[in-house]
Chain A
């Protein structure tokens, strides 16, 4: 098996799993209980929160644990919308994750006007378009920091400046970016940030929303006073512990890891070039503007779903990022956004996403099967 789908999810690392295990059946007390067993798990949550905050340069009180990135983004956008009674506009982009796009669509039904910024062929927003849309009626700008499909890393500092000038909130979806590019939340000075642990060898079902100190949000889930009244429900202690451990491990040797992933990416593209395979790399060139390890490829006249199936049969796991409606398989909205002409996006795209376990033989296997598939035609 050659797992090249690390942007979809990652395996839980042994260290993370080991850190989580005691909190399933040894230290299982409710963190709200005032006895030894509950105190133990409360302490574990507090320590995990401090570890995460320290690694991301935030204050522990600014983190709210959620079930993952999607809930974090919902919490931010809906929480702002529900608590705001003066501003009626939201700005986002056409290449957001569905967590953002579908939440924005929902908020449209409540009367909010949502503007979807266009992107260029590499997936970058036009800062002038953003500037022109920002008004004193803009509630929030929601931007994906590193695109999950094509890897585009937006110019966050410039976006932040524009938001500041317009006195609007800035929410950043950093789900794919964490442990791939350096993140210093206070230096970035964003208002909200969505995070998900399973993208960096933590467990699925845990994430967080960073909320800058002083900002009030309406909670999505009402009940007990957990998370300082911002997210009710008994805390998922083992997963919170696993989240912190995964982030701790993922932030280690980040520069070396990024270089390694870029080297692997270049190796893959060079192998395709050597073999004379025609392809298009969707998104920016490998380097500082692209998420390390993300390689999104279109092979002309090759149906991406058919190729993905062929690779699956050969034990090579990649993704197409397609979506479905009731009767059609839709080419990814991100690919459509960067190539609006049907001729340019009709073949779809294959996303190869490398990770900590990737080896040269995984890439060789991928290239070899792509060649087999193309030669079959």
Chain B
């Protein structure tokens, strides 16, 4: 079953919902598609698969963090695939 997350920016909730629905940058989808399938023009099923790969990576990061929350600079390279502006200013929290 899908995990839920809350994303805040400067204290304001900018996303709350299914981790699978987090917006992913188009160029990262292509990058991952090339990595997994060697396909730079993935069909929607393959796009969906690589989005799951990203959200799964995010989930692992959230589970490893002591309070289930990722903040600011510490992981910004690892979550650069998330399609929000000023990614270094957001906080992602795994909801129970």
Contact = CB atoms under 8 A, between A and B. Distances in A.
Interface of A: 302-303, 305-306, 309, 313, 322, 324-329, 373-374, 376-377
A327 B44 contact: yes
A373 B52 CA distance: 15
9 contacts: A303-B2, A306-B20, A306-B52, A309-B49, A309-B52, A309-B56, A327-B44, A329-B44, A329-B48
A326 B44 contact: yes
Interface in B40-71: 43-45, 48-49, 52, 56
> What secondary structure prevails in chain B residues at the interface with A?
helix
B89 interface: no
B3 A324 contact: no
B1 A376 contact: yes
Contacts of A327: 44
A322 B45 contact: yes
A244 B2 CA distance: 46
B45 A329 contact: yes
B44 A374 contact: no
Interface of B: 1-3, 20, 43-45, 48-49, 52, 56
Contacts of A313: 56
Given A306-B20, A309-B49, A309-B52, A328 B1 contact: no
Contacts of B52: 306, 309
Contacts of A309: 49, 52, 56
B1 A324 contact: no
B2 A306 contact: yes
A328 B44 contact: yes
Contacts of A322: 45
Contact of A324 (B2, B20, B43, B56): B43
Given A328-B44, A329-B44, A374-B1, 19 more contacts: A302-B1, A303-B2, A305-B48, A306-B1, A306-B2, A306-B20, A306-B52, A309-B49, A309-B56, A313-B56, A324-B43, A324-B44, A324-B45, A325-B44, A326-B44, A327-B44, A376-B1, A377-B1, A377-B2
Most buried by B among A322, A324, A374: A324
Contacts of A305: 48
Contacts of B2: 303, 306, 377
Contacts of A328: 44
A295 to B, nearest CB: 21
A158 B41 CA distance: 46
B36 to A, nearest CB: 12
Contacts of A306: 1-2, 20, 52
B63 to A, nearest CB: 12
A376 B56 CA distance: 14
Nearest to A303: B2
A373 B49 CA distance: 17
A33 to B, nearest CB: 38
A324 B48 CA distance: 11
Contacts of B56: 309, 313
Contacts of A325: 44
Contacts of A303: 2
